[in-house]
Amino acid sequence: MPRIALVTGATSGIGRATALLLARHGYHIIATGRRAQRLEELQQEITSVPVRTLIFDVRHREAVQEAINSLPEEWKAIDVLVNNAGNAHGMSPIQHGAVDDWEAMMDINVKGLLYVSQAVIPLMIKRRSGHIVNIGSVAGKEVYPNGNVYCASKHAVDALSQAMRLDLVKEGIKVSEINPGLVHTEFSEVRFKGDKDKADNVYKGLKPLYAEDIADIIAFIVTRPPHVNLAEVLVFPAAQASATVVVRNQEEE
């Protein structure tokens, strides 16, 4: 039986790198996101295993459920769910925060993760097997100035990961959480609403993590033997020690 992995947010960054790497490990891939063309390109790029794409916004509960329901029966035997879709929207003191940004972060990072999980967990329970990997953040372990609501959303992911592990252990489902520091993806471009200079500054003067580094960890976690669950990983670039302590005296290679 082939193993099947569903990766949310597979159109970019960590999700895309994870879909590519899990395909190299022989997983059949269900890649999801909103940008149809990028999903199509990813599907064409992966030639070694079958790939299905599902286009939905994780904020829309019915769309999420319908997309999962639409999978052919054999594709519903999902072994690995990578809850990766998410972003920061804006970065400002709480007193100047934009409510639309707050809602986007809570709706996508927290409620979206719940909607996808709710659609997939029953399929895993039926088979008494599965592995959920939630992408949290160092922002779910610490707060930093101007990070307020993004940090709150990732603290929620941290709480939900622990809670899922408690509730699902008796169902034979493993739950892992990966909490990265600075990863150079489209994340900062989204956070700063397309301001490329501002986004590039986030990674200036250090060698950040790359999406492939996180994909590597995800692949390691899901390929451990059945009796092993790596519950939590906090991962930084070598030049980072906390959300706010970053050494910027190196040139990015």
Query: Binding mask 181-210 vs ligand 8X3 (x if CB under 6 A, - otherwise)?
Result: xx----------------------------
Q: Where is 19: in which H helix or E strand?
A: helix 13-24
In the complex, least distance from residue 185 CB atom to ligand NDP, rounded to whole angstroms: 3
Could you give the residue ranges of the DSSP H alpha helices within 26-133?
36-45, 61-69, 99-105, 113-127
- Edge to edge, the sheet with strand 51-55 lists 51-55, 28-33, 4-7, 80-83, 130-135, 173-180, 232-235
* Chosen from ligand NDP, ligand 8X3, none, partner binding at 121 (C-beta under 5 to 8 Å by type): none
DSSP string, 130-177: EEEEEE--GGGT---TT-HHHHHHHHHHHHHHHHHHHHHGGGTEEEEE
What's the closest the beta carbon of residue 211 comes to ligand NDP, in angstroms? 6
* Residue 156 binds which entry of ligand NDP, ligand 8X3, none, CB below 5-8 Å type-dependent: none
Provide the token pair at 240. 């980072």
Which residue type does 201 have?
A: N
**Active-site residue, 150 included:** yes
What six digits make up the tokens of 107? 């709706």
Q: Min. distance of Cβ 218 from ligand NDP in angstroms?
A: 11
Smallest separation (angstroms) from ligand 8X3 to the CB of 142: 9
Residue facing ligand 8X3 at closest CB distance: 137
Burial of 18 (0-12, 13-18, 19+ CB in 10 A): buried
Distances (CA, A) of 199 to 6, 189, 250: 29, 5, 18
Buried b (16+ CB within 10 A) or exposed e, 151-163: bbbbbbbbebbee
CA 188 to CA 112: how far, in whole Å? 20
Tokens of 204: 């200036």
Name the minimum Å distance from CB 4 to ligand 8X3.
27
Partner interacting with residue 171 (select from ligand 8X3, ligand NDP, none; CB below 5-8 Å by kind): none
Size of the site for ligand 8X3 (CB under 6 A): 7
Q: Which of these segments, 24-32, 46-54, 104-112, 132-140, binds ligand 8X3 (CB under 6 A)?
A: 132-140
| Among positions 110, 138, 164, 222, the unique one binding ligand 8X3 when judged by CB under 6 A | 138
Q: Which is nearer to ligand 8X3, 88 or 222 (CB)?
A: 88
Residue numbers 145-164 binding ligand 8X3 by CB under 6 A: 147
Give the active site residue among 27, 150, 203, 210. 150
Q: Which of 18, 53, 134, 137 binds ligand 8X3 (CB under 6 A)?
A: 137
Q: Find which of ligand 8X3, ligand NDP, none residue 243 binds, CB within 5 to 8 Å per kind.
A: ligand 8X3
Q: Catalytic site residues? A: 150
